[in-house]
Amino acid sequence: MLKKYFLAVICLVIFAKCAQQVAPTGGKKDIIPPTLLSSDPPNRTINFKGNKITLFFDEYVVIDNITQKLIITPEADNPYSFKQKGESVELNFKKKFVDSTTYTLNFGDAIKDYAEKNPAKNLKLVFSTGGSLDSGRIYGTIKDLRSNKPIFDALVGLYNISDTLNIAKQKPFYFSRTDSSGRFSIENTQIRPYKLIAMDDKNRNMLYNTKDERVGFINNPVNAGSDSLNYSLGLFLSDNSLFRVQRTIPKVNNYTVVFNKGIETADVVFMNKDTLPYILENNLQLKFFNVQPHPDTTLIRMTITDSLGVSAQDTIKITFQQQRGKDRQKDPFGMTTIPAQNKPLSRNFTYELQWNKPVSFLDDKKIQLISDSLTREPLANLSLSWNKYHNNLKITGKSTAKDTIKWDFPKGSIISVEGDTLAKMLIKYPVLNEDEFGVLSGSVLHSDTLSYIVELVDEQYKIFQSLYSSPYTFRHIPQGNYFLRIILDNNKNRRWDTGNVIKNKQPEKILYYPQKILIKANFEINDTNLDLSTLK
């Protein structure tokens, strides 16, 4: 009986091994893309009069999003259907192509092999409906103007020159899209002048959306000749839409006017001899405060200007909501600091206080800077500068603290226009340790009488600091990699100003130091010069 039991177990083990499935071994992975063997019509055909195009490959292929990826220049305005038949792809156009025109069909990666989806490379077909092929070509690179980084899939277009050209409504005559290195090439164009414009074209409608698409252009016409011409464009955001009031938000205590885009400056004139305190919030809205007896309606005239210098005027009737009950509900009074609490603060500092309401009273004698247990200095002894809305205060001073800088704000030392105050606060900052930071210095060469801004930005292109003279020195730089750039500040307003494609106005130039700069702790890099005669 025992022998029969062992025999049964042995049989089960053998059967289990026999039934075990093992993945079949295959050959090497196919990494070879499909090759175009021939086409109908053949590449570079002239006098083509048909409306069907067929491509023949050396293996089975599939089609991937061809309606988005196939670029036909000049734009054919000719709908088509497509079929995949084993080793071939067929395009059937609704109508014949325009006579005496050279067409380029660039398929991108729209056609791939069946097995591993390797895309066919450099798949392009050129033909002419006339007796010759156009030979003009323009190529170049597209980058973001602010970061100097190449832009992938930007639309680059050649437009017919016209006094009424409107790229928000007119598509380019010839166009191409950039590769991952920002390079573009527009080939087989008619040899004549064009307007060269590039844009993001996020929705791929080949029209310019001024609200959220970057744009770049060459001022003068470009000549597409038989010799290749190389152009470099920087794209920039330029919201040239007209100012308008998007909505108003009336409350008991305040009245907010919200605009459709960012505000650079706002000037308010009160029309009926009444005044109201107000602030600019987030550069998008004006908030007026109901703090004193005034007529039921306050009439104001606003002049609003954006960063492009585009201004607009509007007249607004401010009417606050009626109060219900005895006690008026107020928005809490709040204060923020720059730098934020617990961030390192240099002994030689520039410090900012910002409130969400205008300040009507600040006791600069009771508010004190504490350097140690024996050293207290009133705010009145430091350099103070208010903004026009009286809700931002810049403080410049010096502390002798060894480890911690403190600010003492007694209760009642700051009162808003609504009469509320802040609780007592003691705000602390560790003293910045010089040994933990680096220094970068240099000069701007061949600047002559130019006005400029020297900026140090981190790897995310966040501005560390801006300086306005030469020689320059950046101090207290955290360890890391940085880019150094210079802005040619043509209008001397100490900020970068964008351009306007509609007015053919270029943005202010931004030129980058050619190498990334590694800043090390407790280390100085000197003589990092920006030579304007060589920077591009």
- Residue by residue, DSSP assigns 273-289 as S----EEEETTTEEEEE
Residue pair 161/195 in contact by the 8 Å Cβ criterion: yes
Residue 25 scores a pLDDT above 60: no
> Cα separation of 521 and 511, whole Å?
27
Residues 6+ apart with CB under 8 A from 309: 497
Q: Which helix (H) or strand (E) holds 241?
A: none
For residue range 54-91, list pLDDT tens digits in order: 999 999 999 999 988 898 989 878 999 999 999 999 99
SS3 22: coil
Residue type, 395: I
pLDDT band at 226 (very low <50, low <70, confident <90, very high): low
CA 162 vs CA 87, 159, 166, 206: distances in Å = 45, 9, 9, 18
Pair 112, 65: CB distance under 8 Å? no
* pLDDT above 70: residue 13: no
Contact 431, 401 (CB under 8 A): yes
* Side chain identity, residue 298: T
pLDDT tens-digit readout, 375-412: 899 999 999 999 999 999 999 999 999 899 999 999 99
Walk me through the domains of the chain, giving residue ranges and CATH numbers. 36-128 (2.60.40.1220), 140-218 (no CATH), 245-318 (2.60.40.1220), 335-432 (2.60.40.1220), 435-531 (2.60.40.1120)
Torsion of CA 220, 227, 186, 51, to 10 degrees: 120
**pTM for this predicted structure:** 0.74
Structural contact between residues 423 and 410, judged by C-beta atoms closer than 8 angstroms:
no
Peptide bond into 41 cis (omega under 30): yes
Neighbours of 41 (CB within 10 A): 18
Two tokens at 499?
């351009």
Q: Residue 15 has what pLDDT?
A: 46
Residue-level pLDDT at 3: 46
pLDDT, position 26? 52
Residue 131 in contact with residue 47, Cβ under 8 Å?
Answer: yes
β-bridge partners, 444 = 530
Q: Per-residue pLDDT for 441 more than 50?
A: yes
| Continuous segment of H or E residues that includes residue 430 | strand 425-430
Contact 471, 497 (CB under 8 A): no
Integer Cα distance of 526 and 529 in angstroms: 9
Mean per-residue pLDDT, 447-454: 90
DSSP-assigned letter for residue 62: E
DSSP state of 24: P
The pair of three-digit structure tokens given for residue 496, joined into one six-digit string: 């970068």
The one-letter amino acid at 511? L
- Is the pLDDT assigned to residue 11 strictly greater than 90? no
CB 527 within 8 A of CB 445: no
pLDDT digits (tens, 9 = 90+) for 183-222: 999 989 998 899 999 999 988 888 998 888 999 999 999 9
The CA distances from residue 281 to 243, 270, 301, in Å, are 17, 19, 18
Q: Is 288 exposed, middle or buried (0-12, 13-18, 19+ CB in 10 A)?
A: buried
Task: Give the residues across from 336 on adjacent strands.
Answer: 354
Q: Please count the other Cβ atoms lying within 10 Å of the Cβ belonging to residue 182.
A: 21
Residue type at position 471: P
On whether the CB atoms of residues 159 and 172 are closer than 8 A, the answer is: yes
The closest of 139, 154, 147, 142 to 233, measured between CA atoms, is 142
Dihedral sign of CA atoms 132, 135, 136, 139 in order: positive
Give the number of other Cβ atoms within 10 Å of residue 336's Cβ: 12
Identify the band that residue 28 occupies on the pLDDT scale cut at 50, 70 and 90: low
Beta bridge partners of 519: 480
The secondary structure element, H or E, covering residue 326 is none
Q: Are 424 and 411 in contact (CB under 8 A)?
A: yes
Give the three-class secondary structure for 67: helix
* Per-residue pLDDT reduced to its tens digit, 472-520: 999 999 999 999 999 999 988 888 988 989 889 999 999 999 999 999 9
Report the C-alpha gap between 333 and 464 in whole angstroms. Answer: 30
Contacts of 60 (CB under 8 A, 6+ apart): 86, 87, 113, 114, 115
Which residues does residue 472 pair with via DSSP β-bridges, in sequence order? 442
Return mean pLDDT, the chain.
89
Report the alpha-carbon distance of residue 370 to residue 426 in Å, rounded: 10
Residue 13: in which H helix or E strand, if any?
A: helix 2-19
How many helices (H) and strands (E) the chain has is answered by: 2, 44
